[in-house]
Structure 1
Amino acid sequence: MNKRLANLEKHGYDFRVAVNIFEDTVVEIPQRRNDEARILALGILNNHVIAVVYTWRGKARRIISARKASRKERNLFESNT
């Protein structure tokens, strides 16, 4: 199973749809994992705050995961928008 389908099954979000959060306001928090620069992006999708973790590959975003935002993440988004 590929990463996109695994994420869809586990979290209910398709990467191809989750990328739409970047069309509106997002709160981005830099992260670092395994020596890779990652960004946690919090944004709205279908009236819900979701969390999208991604990294840059050249000029393209490579989504690592997309899931429902935690309460803490929702509060962070709401306090920064």
Structure 2
Amino acid sequence: MEFEWDARKAASNLRKHGIDFADAATVLYDELAVTVVDEERSEERFVTTGIDALGQLLVVVYTWRGKRVRMISARRATPLERQQYEGGV
């Protein structure tokens, strides 16, 4: 999988949430990750909850641009999101 992101957005996400997009991208390799489609946006976006390479449970928002994953945002999961992930919902 190839990833891309806007450098300014990545810096903003790091400041706001303390999550680096390079680390967040590894969530998409979590075999137990849960993905839903965000249908409230004009472009098709996906929201994936999963464990990154550092062992953090994250929620990652992204879209596909051709064959690349375009990172939009990443943050730590809320307690409810953690419960849903651990319950397989």
TM-score > 0.5 by shorter chain: yes
Task: Write out the 4+ residue segments of structure 1 that deviate beyond 3 Å after TM superposition.
Answer: none
**Sequence identity, in percent?**
40
The residue aligned with 1:43 is: 50
TM-score, length basis structure 2: 0.81
| Distance across 2 between alignment mates of 1:5 and 1:50 | 17
Note the C-alpha offset of 1:70: 1.1
Residues 36-75 of structure 1: per-residue CA shift (max 9 Å, x gap): 1111101112222110001111111111100001112111
The residue aligned with 1:27 is: 34
Corresponding residue pairs, total: 81
**Runs of 5+ consecutive residues of structure 2 not aligned to the other structure:** 1-6
Residues 16-47 of structure 1: per-residue CA shift (max 9 Å, x gap): 11101122221101112331111110111222
Bigger relative CO (Cα 8 Å, ≥ 6 apart): 2
Q: Which among 2, 5, 8 is matched to residue 8 of structure 2?
A: 2
